[in-house]
Every structure is written in C-alpha cells, then in structure tokens.
Amino acid sequence: MSPQHEAPVTSGGRKDLQADCASCFGLCCVALPFARSADFAVDKAAGQACSHLRTDFRCGIHERLRDRGYPGCTVFDCFGAGQKVSQVTFGGTDWRRAPESARAMFEVFPVMRQLHELLRYVAEALDLAAARPVHKELRRALARIDGLTRGSAEAVTALDVNALRGEVNPLLLRASELVRARVPGRRKDHRGADLMGAKLSGAGLRGASLRGALLVAADLSGADLRDADLIGADLRDADLGGADLTGALFLTQAQLDAARGDAATVLPPGLSRPAHW
C-alpha cells in the first residue's frame, strides 16, 4: 500500500510486473483490510477507502508513512496487479466513477496480485541461465498465467490460485536447484524452518534453501546469503546489515523493505536499498 512509491526494477525487466501507482485506482488502499497494529495506525475493512487516500488515488501521507504509524504500507508490493485490474480488467474506469463495479474490482485485486507474484517469480527464473533446462516449461507457464490475468473479473476471481501455484512451484524449485547446484560445498536446507530471532550473524548460507523460512527478527548481519533461495521467506525486522545477497533467488523488494539493513548490505541487481535503512 504505497501509491506513488518508486517501483523496483525486478521481474526480469518486465515493467508490467512492477507497481505503477499512477495507473492504478489506489486499489491496495481500498480493497485490502488492515488491523490496528505496529504496521497500521487504525483498523480498516476490506472495500473501505483509507482516510488518507486522496481523490486522485494518491496517498496523502506518502512521505510520512512510517512516522504516521503506517509502516505496513511501505512494505507492500502488488507486482503490477493494481494497474492490470484498473486498466485491463476494468478498462480504465475507476470505482468512484462506476461505483457499481467497485465490489468486483476489489474482489479481483487480491487474486490478481497472487497471479502477478507468480508471474514475477517465473519471469525471474527465465532470467537464470543455469535454469535453462526448465525454461521451456517456464515459458509455457508464463504464457498461461499471463493469459489468465487477462480474463474477465469473474473469471479471475473464480480461479483456484493455490492449484496454479502447486503446478508452478515445482518448476521454480527446479530452477532454484539448478542454480544452487553450482555453489561449491554443502548447501544448507532451511526450507520452511522456524528461525524466528535466530542468531545467524556471519552464517555461511551461500546457496542455502530458505524457502518460506520464518526469519522474523533473525540476526543475519554479515551472513553470506549469496545465491540463497529466499522465496516467501519472512524477513520482517531481520537484520541484514552487512549481509551479502548477491544472486539471492526470488527476493522481492517488499521482503527487503520489511527487513533492516545498512550501507554495507550487498543487494542483488534490480533491488534498491530501502530508504529507512
């Protein structure tokens, strides 16, 4: 939830998989619910416009989100789903001008976001030279998902995204394995591990699988995370100060934005150093 935020250059260079808030009707600030917490200053129901959303669909407190108690808005990435729903699914007619379509628009957005997230991972895998043995299947998956995102609002909302993810995940896993197999030595497997608050300062995690690992508040300062697979890893408040993330796989800007780091953290190309580091 961050209209006007700087879109990271990820997703295999595909602009349509990067948030373009100027082409979106502020969907993340309306469609999604949030609860009063350390991430959001107030409660908001799904379908209710945030009180800070301006009439031009921009955020009225964009420059002060963290100070005003909305850090959760700074770590959200729609992967380009917002502009797809606004401009493609609904043809550029916003929910204020056509309130009768508002509900359908807000329902389709979270589904589209999941589809775009999948597309983003597949696009990244297609950029990995070592994953060439699965590129043909990945290209097929990309075309299929891309086609699904262009369906009607009803068709997109009715999709079984979990089933689709179940079909695509083995390809992403295979791509990851092909890349990490090139890393010398024994690679650690922390897939889905609960590493909340773990002391991993300076750890050798090169080529490790950290897929879906819970790394909330983990100390990863100075860790070697080169070529590590971080898909879906929860890095909220993790300390990445001085860590080396060169070649880290499936790392998103939102994951970085949710973590802590410093000027010495080495980032993969295409991801930017969060302003609050």
Q: By the criterion CB under 6 A, which residues form the site for ligand SF4?
A: 1-3, 29, 50, 52-53, 59, 61, 70, 73
CB 50 to ligand SF4: min, Å: 3
Give, to the nearest 10 degrees, the angle between helix 102-126 and helix 135-149.
170
- How many whole angstroms separate alpha carbon 207 and alpha carbon 239? 19
Torsion of CA 231, 236, 237, 241, to 10 degrees: 20
Number of H helices, E strands in the chain: 7, 0
CB of 74 to ligand SF4, least distance (A): 8
Q: How far is the CB of 206 from ligand SF4 (least distance, A)?
A: 36
What's the min distance (Å) between Cβ of 263 and ligand SF4? 27
Q: Which is nearer to ligand SF4, 78 or 195 (CB)?
A: 78
Minimum distance between the CB of residue 149 and ligand SF4, rounded to whole angstroms? 23
Q: Which is nearer to ligand SF4, 72 or 241 (CB)?
A: 72
Q: Which is nearer to ligand SF4, 52 or 187 (CB)?
A: 52
Cβ nearer to ligand SF4, comparing 55 with 162:
55
Provide, rounded to whole angstroms, the least separation between the CB of residue 3 and ligand SF4.
6
Nearest to 30 by CA among 63, 62, 52: 52
Q: Give Cα 170 to chain centroid, integer Å.
A: 19
Nearest of 161, 145, 3, 9 to residue 76 by alpha carbon? 3
Which of 59, 254 has the CB closer to ligand SF4? 59
Residue among 277, 266, 272 nearest 227 (CA): 266
Our CB check for ligand SF4 shows the closer of 70 and 106 to be: 70
Nearer Cβ to ligand SF4 (14/52): 52
83: buried, middle or exposed (CB in 10 Å: 19+, 13-18, 0-12)? buried
Least distance (Å) between residue 45 CB and ligand SF4:
12
From first CA to last CA, the distance across the chain in angstroms is 19
State the Cα–Cα distance between residues 87 and 19, nearest whole angstrom: 13
Burial of 135 (0-12, 13-18, 19+ CB in 10 A): middle
Tokens of 33: 């619910």
